[in-house]
Amino acid sequence: MGLLTRANAMLLRPARTWSDAAGEPAVAADLMKGYVVPLAAIGPVCGVLGGLAFHGDSIFGVNIRPPVRTLLVTAASSYLMTLLGVVLAALAVERLAPLFGGARDRGQAFKLVVYSGTALWATGIFSLYPALGWLMAMLGALGSLYSLRLGLPKLMGIEEDRSLVAFALIFLVIALIAAALSLLHSVVLEALDAPLWVTVTV
Protein backbone atom coordinates (compact mmCIF):
# COMPACT_ATOMS: atom_id res chain seq x y z
CA MET A 1 0.00 0.00 0.00
CA GLY A 2 1.28 3.46 -0.90
CA LEU A 3 2.50 5.91 1.70
CA LEU A 4 -0.31 8.43 1.32
CA THR A 5 -3.00 5.76 1.13
CA ARG A 6 -1.78 4.05 4.30
CA ALA A 7 -1.30 7.34 6.16
CA ASN A 8 -4.78 8.50 5.21
CA ALA A 9 -6.26 5.17 6.32
CA MET A 10 -4.44 5.31 9.65
CA LEU A 11 -5.80 8.79 10.30
CA LEU A 12 -9.41 8.18 9.25
CA ARG A 13 -10.09 4.53 10.11
CA PRO A 14 -7.31 3.17 12.32
CA ALA A 15 -9.20 0.16 13.70
CA ARG A 16 -9.94 -1.30 10.27
CA THR A 17 -6.48 -0.38 9.00
CA TRP A 18 -4.81 -2.29 11.83
CA SER A 19 -6.77 -5.38 10.83
CA ASP A 20 -5.49 -5.01 7.27
CA ALA A 21 -1.92 -4.31 8.36
CA ALA A 22 -1.74 -7.26 10.75
CA GLY A 23 -1.43 -9.80 7.95
CA GLU A 24 0.97 -7.85 5.77
CA PRO A 25 4.63 -8.86 5.51
CA ALA A 26 6.95 -6.35 7.14
CA VAL A 27 10.66 -5.58 6.95
CA ALA A 28 11.88 -3.01 9.47
CA ALA A 29 14.28 -1.32 7.03
CA ASP A 30 11.55 -0.94 4.40
CA LEU A 31 9.12 0.55 6.92
CA MET A 32 11.73 3.03 8.08
CA LYS A 33 12.80 4.04 4.58
CA GLY A 34 9.39 4.09 2.93
CA TYR A 35 7.21 5.45 5.74
CA VAL A 36 9.06 6.98 8.67
CA VAL A 37 11.77 8.83 6.76
CA PRO A 38 9.36 10.92 4.65
CA LEU A 39 6.60 11.40 7.24
CA ALA A 40 8.88 12.25 10.14
CA ALA A 41 10.49 14.95 8.00
CA ILE A 42 7.25 16.96 7.83
CA GLY A 43 7.62 18.56 11.26
CA PRO A 44 11.30 19.55 11.02
CA VAL A 45 10.97 20.93 7.49
CA CYS A 46 7.82 22.88 8.32
CA GLY A 47 9.42 24.08 11.55
CA VAL A 48 12.29 25.62 9.62
CA LEU A 49 9.96 27.21 7.09
CA GLY A 50 7.69 28.51 9.84
CA GLY A 51 10.63 29.93 11.75
CA LEU A 52 11.83 31.75 8.66
CA ALA A 53 8.39 33.06 7.71
CA PHE A 54 7.23 34.30 11.11
CA HIS A 55 8.92 36.47 13.69
CA GLY A 56 9.15 34.89 17.09
CA ASP A 57 7.89 36.36 20.33
CA SER A 58 7.72 40.06 20.94
CA ILE A 59 9.32 41.49 24.08
CA PHE A 60 8.89 45.21 24.78
CA GLY A 61 8.10 45.78 21.12
CA VAL A 62 11.21 43.97 19.85
CA ASN A 63 10.61 40.88 17.73
CA ILE A 64 12.94 37.95 18.31
CA ARG A 65 13.35 34.71 16.44
CA PRO A 66 15.88 31.87 16.17
CA PRO A 67 18.71 32.40 13.67
CA VAL A 68 18.75 30.23 10.53
CA ARG A 69 21.63 28.09 11.79
CA THR A 70 19.74 27.24 14.98
CA LEU A 71 16.60 26.37 13.01
CA LEU A 72 18.55 24.01 10.75
CA VAL A 73 20.55 22.37 13.53
CA THR A 74 17.46 21.93 15.70
CA ALA A 75 15.48 20.43 12.81
CA ALA A 76 18.24 18.02 11.84
CA SER A 77 18.83 16.86 15.41
CA SER A 78 15.10 16.50 16.08
CA TYR A 79 14.68 14.44 12.91
CA LEU A 80 17.52 12.08 13.78
CA MET A 81 16.17 11.67 17.33
CA THR A 82 12.79 10.73 15.90
CA LEU A 83 14.28 8.03 13.67
CA LEU A 84 16.29 6.65 16.57
CA GLY A 85 13.24 6.80 18.83
CA VAL A 86 11.16 4.72 16.42
CA VAL A 87 13.82 2.01 16.31
CA LEU A 88 14.23 1.92 20.09
CA ALA A 89 10.46 1.91 20.69
CA ALA A 90 9.92 -0.94 18.22
CA LEU A 91 12.67 -3.02 19.83
CA ALA A 92 11.11 -2.36 23.23
CA VAL A 93 7.67 -3.50 22.01
CA GLU A 94 9.25 -6.63 20.57
CA ARG A 95 10.78 -7.49 23.95
CA LEU A 96 7.79 -6.55 26.10
CA ALA A 97 5.00 -8.26 24.15
CA PRO A 98 5.88 -11.81 25.33
CA LEU A 99 5.47 -10.69 28.95
CA PHE A 100 1.74 -10.42 28.22
CA GLY A 101 1.34 -13.53 26.12
CA GLY A 102 2.10 -11.79 22.83
CA ALA A 103 4.47 -12.74 20.06
CA ARG A 104 8.08 -11.64 19.91
CA ASP A 105 7.91 -10.47 16.31
CA ARG A 106 10.17 -7.66 15.14
CA GLY A 107 8.27 -7.01 11.93
CA GLN A 108 4.97 -6.64 13.75
CA ALA A 109 6.55 -4.46 16.42
CA PHE A 110 7.94 -2.10 13.79
CA LYS A 111 4.59 -1.97 12.00
CA LEU A 112 2.89 -1.09 15.28
CA VAL A 113 5.27 1.72 16.20
CA VAL A 114 5.71 3.06 12.66
CA TYR A 115 2.04 3.26 11.75
CA SER A 116 1.10 4.55 15.21
CA GLY A 117 3.28 7.58 14.60
CA THR A 118 1.18 8.74 11.64
CA ALA A 119 -1.00 11.24 13.52
CA LEU A 120 1.96 12.85 15.30
CA TRP A 121 4.01 13.23 12.12
CA ALA A 122 1.08 14.43 10.04
CA THR A 123 0.35 17.27 12.47
CA GLY A 124 3.93 18.44 11.94
CA ILE A 125 2.61 20.43 9.01
CA PHE A 126 1.15 22.91 11.50
CA SER A 127 4.70 23.85 12.46
CA LEU A 128 4.45 26.19 9.49
CA TYR A 129 2.75 28.49 12.01
CA PRO A 130 4.86 28.13 15.18
CA ALA A 131 2.21 29.46 17.57
CA LEU A 132 -0.11 26.63 16.53
CA GLY A 133 2.46 23.90 16.01
CA TRP A 134 2.93 22.87 19.64
CA LEU A 135 -0.80 22.52 20.27
CA MET A 136 -1.37 20.40 17.19
CA ALA A 137 1.66 18.29 18.09
CA MET A 138 0.02 17.49 21.43
CA LEU A 139 -3.20 16.48 19.67
CA GLY A 140 -1.19 14.39 17.22
CA ALA A 141 0.61 12.65 20.08
CA LEU A 142 -2.73 11.75 21.67
CA GLY A 143 -3.95 10.42 18.34
CA SER A 144 -0.84 8.30 17.97
CA LEU A 145 -1.25 6.87 21.47
CA TYR A 146 -4.87 6.00 20.70
CA SER A 147 -3.75 4.29 17.51
CA LEU A 148 -1.07 2.35 19.40
CA ARG A 149 -3.68 1.17 21.89
CA LEU A 150 -5.92 -0.08 19.07
CA GLY A 151 -3.14 -1.84 17.22
CA LEU A 152 -1.36 -3.50 20.12
CA PRO A 153 -3.61 -6.58 20.53
CA LYS A 154 -4.03 -7.05 16.77
CA LEU A 155 -0.39 -6.90 15.78
CA MET A 156 1.35 -8.38 18.81
CA GLY A 157 -1.21 -11.10 19.59
CA ILE A 158 -1.94 -9.89 23.10
CA GLU A 159 -5.31 -10.84 24.54
CA GLU A 160 -7.67 -7.90 24.94
CA ASP A 161 -7.98 -8.33 28.72
CA ARG A 162 -4.20 -7.97 29.08
CA SER A 163 -3.64 -5.34 26.42
CA LEU A 164 -4.43 -2.35 28.63
CA VAL A 165 -1.70 -3.23 31.12
CA ALA A 166 0.67 -3.99 28.25
CA PHE A 167 -0.14 -0.62 26.70
CA ALA A 168 0.51 1.17 30.00
CA LEU A 169 3.95 -0.43 30.32
CA ILE A 170 4.83 0.23 26.68
CA PHE A 171 3.70 3.83 27.05
CA LEU A 172 5.96 4.24 30.09
CA VAL A 173 8.94 2.80 28.25
CA ILE A 174 8.31 5.01 25.20
CA ALA A 175 8.01 8.04 27.48
CA LEU A 176 11.39 7.20 29.03
CA ILE A 177 12.93 6.79 25.58
CA ALA A 178 11.49 10.15 24.53
CA ALA A 179 12.87 11.82 27.67
CA ALA A 180 16.33 10.36 27.09
CA LEU A 181 16.34 11.44 23.45
CA SER A 182 15.15 14.91 24.42
CA LEU A 183 18.11 15.19 26.75
CA LEU A 184 20.44 13.96 24.01
CA HIS A 185 18.92 16.52 21.64
CA SER A 186 19.72 19.29 24.14
CA VAL A 187 23.29 18.00 24.49
CA VAL A 188 23.72 18.03 20.71
CA LEU A 189 22.50 21.61 20.44
CA GLU A 190 24.79 22.65 23.27
CA ALA A 191 27.76 20.88 21.70
CA LEU A 192 27.14 22.58 18.35
CA ASP A 193 26.91 25.91 20.16
CA ALA A 194 23.92 27.13 18.18
CA PRO A 195 22.69 30.53 19.43
CA LEU A 196 19.09 30.41 20.60
CA TRP A 197 17.77 33.79 19.61
CA VAL A 198 18.60 36.81 17.49
CA THR A 199 16.84 40.15 17.74
CA VAL A 200 15.32 41.67 14.65
CA THR A 201 13.75 45.00 13.87
CA VAL A 202 11.20 46.65 16.11
Host domain of residue 186: 3-199
pLDDT in tens, 163-186: 999 999 999 999 999 999 999 999
Q: Could you give the CA distance from residue 77 to residue 58 in angstroms, rounded to a whole number?
A: 26
**b/e burial code for range 137-176 (CB count within 10 A of at least 16 → b):** beebeebbbebbbbbbbbbbbbeeeebeebbeebeebbee
Least confident of 31-35, 147-151, 195-199: 195-199
For the chain, how many structural domains are there in total?
Answer: 1
Distance of CA 194 to the CA centre of its chain: 24
pLDDT in tens, 27-59: 999 999 999 999 999 999 999 998 888 755 555
How much is the pTM?
Answer: 0.88
